[in-house]
Structure 1
Amino acid sequence: MDSINDAEMSNIGDVLNDTTRPMKERFRALFTLRNLGGESAIKCISKCFNDESVLLKHELAYCLGQMQDKRAIPALRAVLEDKQQDPIVRHEAGEALGAIGDPDLRELLERYKDDPAVEVAETCQIALERLNWVAKDGASEKLSKSPYSSVDPAPPSSENDVQTLKHTMMNESKPLYDRYRAMFSLRNMATTESIIALGEGFKASSALFRHEVAFVFGQMQDERSIPFLKMALEDTKEHEMVRHEAAEALGSIATDECIQVLQRYLHDPRPVVRESCEVALDMSEYENSPEFQYANTLLAVKAQG
């Protein structure tokens, strides 16, 4: 990683916090800060939680969780506790706290596991189960290896039969945490059969669950998932958190078909959806370009310096 001084870090933070800049530039700045890490990056990211964009604030929380730095806890805690924040943002803050995995967070997550916003409540329930797993089985359980660098809300299941995993994933009498574990196992398999099984997840009653299916497809970047993602984005009655994840997933797959679908929703009446399509088209441009790195704001800042 390139060396970076305080002024350059501050300049990247300024890009993130500049409301006059296109959302795609602010996203690139955010992911640059996530990759750089450290206290200064956390401060730059946390400062942006006053922004009006629900999508951006959701991504701020996601990045702070992926950094797994306990210094991000105060900012994430404040977001989870703030009932004025959109449930999409609060949910992501709860998930981020679960990703950090500090056992001292148990009391906070317990307080919100029955939150009136179902997305927040379900997220905190899953985060609590993840804390339990980290404390008990995290170091010893032999599980399929994730091909992605993400910190997932739940570990994959130890089961490896697709139909059994699909049954678990779609069994609404089971805890969401167990269903998430089945979902991540199907993701790690990345076969046609497992992708079709994952696509069934869009029929689940939980919007939180459906949004995670879309997120998983975005990680996989597999063209076989496009029909499921298109259907989710094109369904204007679908929860915006699901449509937004479907849009970003299509952006990461980046075929001509994906780009055409995203362009149709650039003016969607829901800000979260239209901003997601803008960011997703930028991701598509990156995927189809010779650019080495998506999170490239540090290079831009150095060039300006």
Structure 2
Amino acid sequence: MAEHITVEKMQQMLCNKELSMRERFRGMSTLRDIGGKEAIDSLLTCLDDPSALLKHEAVFCIGQIQDPYAIPYLINVLEDTSQEPIVRHEAAEALGAIGSKEVLNILEKYRFDPVIEIAETCQLALARINWLNTNKHIQVENPYKSVDPAPASDDDNVESLKSTLLDESLPLFDRYRAMFALRNKTSEESVLALAEGMKASSILLRHELAFILGQMRNKAGDALGRKADDTIVTVLTDALKNSTESSVVRHECATALGEMDKNDCMQVLKEYLHDEEAVVSESCQLSLDMYAQSLLSK
């Protein structure tokens, strides 16, 4: 009963447009942690919200719960071309995260979608599900506890992993595996290798790199070292400031910069508070709100 009350309370928080995005995101995070059908139903209630950022995060949380119950709802989102590409992409990624073979046909249908981020996400999700079904005996360690679009490679050599990450001729799935292996090493050397990947041609790869650089900074903090820290800030800032960069990447950079806990990063985010891309401006606002809240709690 107590859990039901919590789900109901979090749903009310999530759907309350008068609350800040930070508070609504907190409701989503709690629902993700609770899991189960009721939590998924609550997360689904915001799919008609005007904010693509909010809808994208709700779908991400549903994928992290990994409950097959969500599959038909996620398929509906993927097939709904009135939804923003960033939301449809997240639905395809969530289907891959759940990992059920029953979605292979729908992912095949959209693996050549005209929106390249959606096409590449479906290709990755297909590769992940096929890998899971042929490698059931393999347990891949993930110190970040997230459900990733690809399992980390078992290669332990940074230079080899970097070479794979940067090789445009390789399947995206192989490059993602190298990327997550580099992330899991959580070292200055691996950060510098990942930063090189921000020059890749794939929008999807660049967006994931921005996400995991934020993950690394959030987990390791100053332990990464000054050079790695400066490198993360530089590549994320450069991408955010690049008006020709995809909003999918720029939004992820704004979110990751919010993990930095640095005044200079906050100044950059303030510059883009009114960016013409709503998902970018909202990401900047969310990061600034999170930073302000962290100062209050110190």
| Superposition TM-score, scaled by structure 1 size | 0.89
Q: Could you tell me how far apart the structure 2 residues matched to 1:4 and 1:232 are?
A: 44
Partner of 1:281: 288
Q: How far 1:289 moved relative to its partner?
A: 5.2
SS in structure 2 at match of 1:32? helix
Q: How far 1:172 moved relative to its partner?
A: 0.9
Which residue, 95, 99, 102 being the options, matches 1:101? 99
Q: Could you tell me how far apart the structure 1 residues matched to 2:199 and 2:213 are?
A: 15
SS in structure 2 at match of 1:252? coil
Partner of 1:218: 214
Q: Is 1:185 aligned to residue 185 of structure 2?
A: no
Q: What percent identity do the matched residue pairs reach?
A: 48
Q: 1:12 to 1:195 in 2, by over 3 A?
A: same
Q: Could you tell me how far apart the structure 1 residues matched to 2:163 and 2:91 are?
A: 29
Partner of 1:236: 243
Name the amino acid aligned to 2:264: E
Q: How far 1:109 moved relative to its partner?
A: 0.9
Name the amino acid aligned to 1:280: S
Q: Could you tell me how far apart the structure 2 residues matched to 1:156 and 1:9 are?
A: 33
Q: How far 1:244 moved relative to its partner?
A: 0.5
Which residue, 78, 83, 88 being the options, matches 1:80? 78
Q: Could you tell me how far apart the structure 2 residues matched to 1:158 and 1:148 are?
A: 16
Q: How far 1:5 moved relative to its partner?
A: 4.6
| Superposition TM-score, scaled by structure 2 size | 0.91
Q: Could you tell me how far apart the structure 2 residues matched to 1:289 and 1:97 are?
A: 38
Q: Could you tell me how far apart the structure 2 residues matched to 1:102 and 1:182 are?
A: 23
Q: Is 1:118 aligned to residue 116 of structure 2?
A: yes
Partner of 1:133: 131
Partner of 2:20: 22
Name the amino acid aligned to 2:115: A
Q: Could you tell me how far apart the structure 1 residues matched to 2:162 and 2:4 are?
A: 49
Divergent runs of 4+, >3 A: 5-8, 285-291
Contact 1:254 1:288 in 2 (8 A): no
Structure 2: gaps (5+ residues): 222-228
Q: Is 1:247 aligned to residue 247 of structure 2?
A: no
Aligned residues: 287
Contact 1:207 1:239 in 2 (8 A): yes
**Larger RCO: Structure 1 or Structure 2 (Cα < 8 Å, ≥ 6 residues apart)?**
1
Name the amino acid aligned to 2:111: K
Partner of 1:256: 263
Give me the CA root mean square deviation: 1.6
Structure 1: gaps (5+ residues): 292-305
Contact 1:168 1:179 in 2 (8 A): yes
